[in-house]
Amino acid sequence: MTDDRTMTDNSEADDLSRTFAALADPTRRAILARLAEGEASVTELAEPFAMSLPAISKHLKVLERAGLITRGQHAQWRPCRLEAAPLGAATDWLDRYRKFWDARFDRLDEHLRRTQQKDTP
């Protein structure tokens, strides 16, 4: 198993850092959740939030820099769309640690089972 300190390609670690930084904000996570349903304009994305369009645009720029969204242009409409690849990379990274914790919990379960067997007459 490799970690961020031993990655040969630092750009992968940088991409992961940008992804997690973008996901750290609840507004950006809500925007991504909305875009998982389909394309939307900035105005549509801003509707559920009590903030200005420039504030929403700043969030969109963070998401765009992280590669989590792209913005298109169809005539006057500039739809935003979800780009899932960075989420896949983050999931893969987290999955390594899920396996670690699963193994730990399996050992704990085994320890508890042995302890309970000793305590049972």
74: β partners: 77
Tokens 């509707």 locate to 47
Q: Please report the pLDDT score of residue 78 as a whole number.
A: 85
Q: Is residue 4 part of a domain?
A: no
Q: Is residue 22 part of a domain?
A: yes
Q: Structural domain of residue 88, as residue ranges? A: 10-119
Q: Is residue 50 part of a domain?
A: yes
Q: Is residue 1 part of a domain?
A: no
Work out how many domains the chain is built from and give that number. 1
Task: Judge contact between 35 and 81, C-beta under 8 A.
Answer: yes
Does this model's pTM top 0.85? My answer is: no
Share of the chain above pLDDT 70, in %: 90
Please give the angle made by the CA atoms of 40, 46 and 47, to the nearest 5 degrees.
95
Flag whether pLDDT at 66 surpasses 50: yes
Please give the angle made by the CA atoms of 65, 13 and 82, to the nearest 5 degrees.
35
Q: Is residue 2 part of a domain?
A: no
**pLDDT tens, residue by residue, 21-42:** 999 999 999 999 999 999 999 9
Three-state secondary structure call for residue 13: helix
Q: Is residue 61 part of a domain?
A: yes
Q: What is the DSSP letter of 18?
A: H
Q: Is residue 5 part of a domain?
A: no
